Structure 1
């Protein structure tokens, strides 16, 4: 009985020392916060008035303007802090934890800011200043890249892909559970406090626990290369620089490479394929983000007119896409190549978001979201395909360039989608979703060209 107890304690200790608890706590806290913010914005702009617009159209315009400014700040502010924290994490020993802890500290302050706004009835633009403050701590860009780096450093090369997919899956499941609970918790009232106060208090508590976990429990232990494959290791530990060289996909020496390792990285940059993949990623990101960011405002208006509970259920439906996309990759990766996987995900999103254009009832919304079940497959797969079009030593730079290009593109398409939505409210509110579907179809064109340019994979194994 002593041995199983020790094994259980060891397993619990290993789980608590990983980054997964911080990810789960942060995601649940985030779903609570998003529901509280949306309902507060809806309440503040309930009596908005614009010349020539009805009360509901005025509310929709005011809410979409708020979220447009909010998302532009989120995209623009964290670029420099993210680069600084990433460089410190790579160059300075002991700073790797900062890429997870610093953004969580910013998120914690942001949650507190909304609670102060709710309790003291501060003006809503106060949240713009709070957004700038929390993004100066690195924001989601730094947090997620830090999570991926910590996950990679804590896993062996053979188990790394599975470890990263496990974190993605936990992130989606945490969002699902948090969204289901958020609407009900929003309605919980306490004497003398407004609706949403309890929900925000729980969000702050969970974020605080995640921050404390990243400071005191998160271990930055790197895997030691003691795997004897092809006479590779004499028994000593690898240096930190060697491990990080592997994380960055810099080609190892021939003695470190198993005989059956495929040589996916070319000797030079395949510029045409890289440009086509960048274009496809930018178009698809514009289609997804431009539509989904307005979806929260769309469900508030008639004919849906969702309550806080229904908003939570809708967010949960979006989070299930993490699970279905993960299962889709597991199911189809053996029979479809990466190009066809990307096309499958894009077709899934294009069909679902086009159906969303004509949604007039709640059940139709869930039918449209069910068509999006593989919508998260394209961008990660594009990154995987992109890594095979450049030398291994240039993968990090290429991924950073892609992420920055998507951020800067957002500065153009977020206002564009918002203005189109506002100007089409009276005659076709779903126009932005139709436009999003059309952009997704356009994104499939460069992917198809890349598929034609890639060499055919042989269906046999060389002797």
Structure 2
């Protein structure tokens, strides 16, 4: 998730005197090492550690529920023998029961974490405009460390499985994935004034996120087969510990708290009021046309996130189910193959933004998502399940381009407030999507397991239709930044 910090071209503020020191805070001094302002390694390590656990969690839950509900040992194989050798009606009913139980488990887990995560994301990322970006990065790393410790204890001592829901809820109090992304993208926005450079840097973040998550997913299957559940979790814990050290002691801050101490003197409630006013200012001081573009772009981003994340929410369960019956090795291969989507999407952003308007780039990405999800709904063989990644090669392109479009609509002093809203919407859309699609999957797995993917593909028509409205309203959103900054640093009201 009244005026924010005001900046004048001459280095003096025309009003709101307490913000005099904000002028060039977001521009790192040239005499400092460029490496100290690299936030990409932070997101890379965070993604690797998180996605090292990401395929493990549903498999661990699935195996524990299988043992609890069927009173049998979960069979591990590489080629679907577990399904073909046990194709009786009784076995099929048991598998559907486990699928439904696992889906509902994810539903409860998501519901327990959605409100704390959204609240922390909105407050902390907006607060970073006044107290620095690093807090938005430190908190999610600490939350991930706590989750790793909890998961390791539950797995090692075979504690009650539902303690994982408690662990997920506690870790969400530190913001989680949405807070990390909001902080990292705000950090990049502080460093980049050029629009195309900003788009590319944000695309690099998305590519790093996908690349490291794919490497982690690929190694998870072999790691799990060789060492069980405990060692991958412990490895993730070590990486997050190193990440925390880097953020605290090495990464430079783009907004200096020492320069902004005067902003909180006099009232403990002042920071919260300024956060609320900064978010309000984004919309209240914009011209009607720019306000319409801002709202539409936010809606496109949130509906894209809802359809894409919702479509991916039940992929692991779908792969574990008949007729695929994938092992952890195949699941790792499938997750790793999805890494190519992030790489090709980055290449697509790099190439297409040179020749096409941002709206056209987003449109290509949405078509890629829709075609891939519809194809997934009818994937019944291992080969076809791998091939569904082909039409989705440009599926990530909308995310960095939409973030850059949004960033160019508001002033430099409002980047934290903007990305707080973006991160909050992203977390809300993701959590609602996980809740909705897991519920739908539990209700439809018996008669059509691919229904969720078909539904998600059809819902892609919503952001596509809104995108046409944005295109109809006039020039590309990236051009809206030309008249953003008035002399006092606020949005012009014309």
Which TM-score bucket, shorter chain as reference? Answer: 0.7 to 0.9
Whether contact under 8 Å (1:29, 1:204) holds in the other structure is: yes
Equivalent positions of 1:66-145 (< 5 A) are 66-92=105-131, 95-145=132-182
CA–CA separation in structure 2 for the residues paired with 1:147 and 1:304? 38
What displacement does 1:67 show? Answer: 1.5
CA–CA separation in structure 2 for the residues paired with 1:136 and 1:401? 18
Does 2:225 align with 1:187?
Answer: yes
Distance 1:165 1:37, change over 3 A: same
CA–CA separation in structure 2 for the residues paired with 1:140 and 1:279? 20
- Give the SS at the match of 1:45: helix
The equivalent of 1:377 in structure 2 is 397
Does 2:215 align with 1:177?
Answer: yes
Distance 1:98 1:222, change over 3 A: closer
Equivalent positions of 1:164-243 (< 5 A) are 164-189=202-227, 195-220=228-253
Distance 1:176 1:40, change over 3 A: same
CA–CA separation in structure 1 for the residues paired with 2:455 and 2:311? 9
CA–CA separation in structure 1 for the residues paired with 2:249 and 2:183? 16
Distance 1:409 1:28, change over 3 A: closer
The equivalent of 1:54 in structure 2 is 93
Q: What TM-score do you get using the length of structure 1 for normalisation?
A: 0.78
Equivalent positions of 1:3-402 (< 5 A) are 15=35, 18-47=38-67, 49=69, 54-92=93-131, 95-153=132-190, 160-189=198-227, 195-220=228-253, 267-386=287-406, 397=417, 399-402=419-422
The equivalent of 1:253 in structure 2 is none
Whether contact under 8 Å (1:75, 1:410) holds in the other structure is: no
CA–CA separation in structure 2 for the residues paired with 1:423 and 1:138? 30
What displacement does 1:276 show? Answer: 3.6
> Would you say how many aligned residue pairs link Structure 1 and Structure 2?
404
CA–CA separation in structure 1 for the residues paired with 2:35 and 2:118? 31
- Give the SS at the match of 2:396: coil
Structure 2 gap ranges (5+): 1-32, 71-89, 262-277, 279-284, 478-494
What displacement does 1:206 show? Answer: 1.0
1:305-335 Cα offsets, whole Å, 9 max, x none, are 1111211111112232111111111121233
RMSD: 3.3
1:373-418 Cα offsets, whole Å, 9 max, x none, are 1111223333444456677877665554454345445565443322
Structure 1 stretch displaced more, 330-339 or 83-92: 83-92
- Give the SS at the match of 2:354: coil
The equivalent of 2:456 in structure 1 is 436
Does 2:442 align with 1:419?
Answer: no
What displacement does 1:73 show? Answer: 3.3
- Give the SS at the match of 1:369: coil
1:224-266 Cα offsets, whole Å, 9 max, x none, are xxxxxxxxxxxxxxx889xxxxxx9xxxxxxxxxxxxxxxx97
Whether contact under 8 Å (1:154, 1:222) holds in the other structure is: no
Structure 1 gap ranges (5+): 1-12, 190-194, 224-238, 242-247, 249-264, 458-463
What displacement does 1:57 show? Answer: 0.4
Distance 1:90 1:280, change over 3 A: closer
Distance 1:164 1:343, change over 3 A: closer
Whether contact under 8 Å (2:129, 2:414) holds in the other structure is: no
Equivalent positions of 1:436-455 (< 5 A) are 436-455=456-475
Larger RCO: 1 or 2 (CA < 8 Å, sep 6+): 2
Distance 1:374 1:75, change over 3 A: farther
CA–CA separation in structure 2 for the residues paired with 1:210 and 1:113? 19
CA–CA separation in structure 2 for the residues paired with 1:392 and 1:26? 27
Q: What TM-score do you get using the length of structure 2 for normalisation?
A: 0.73
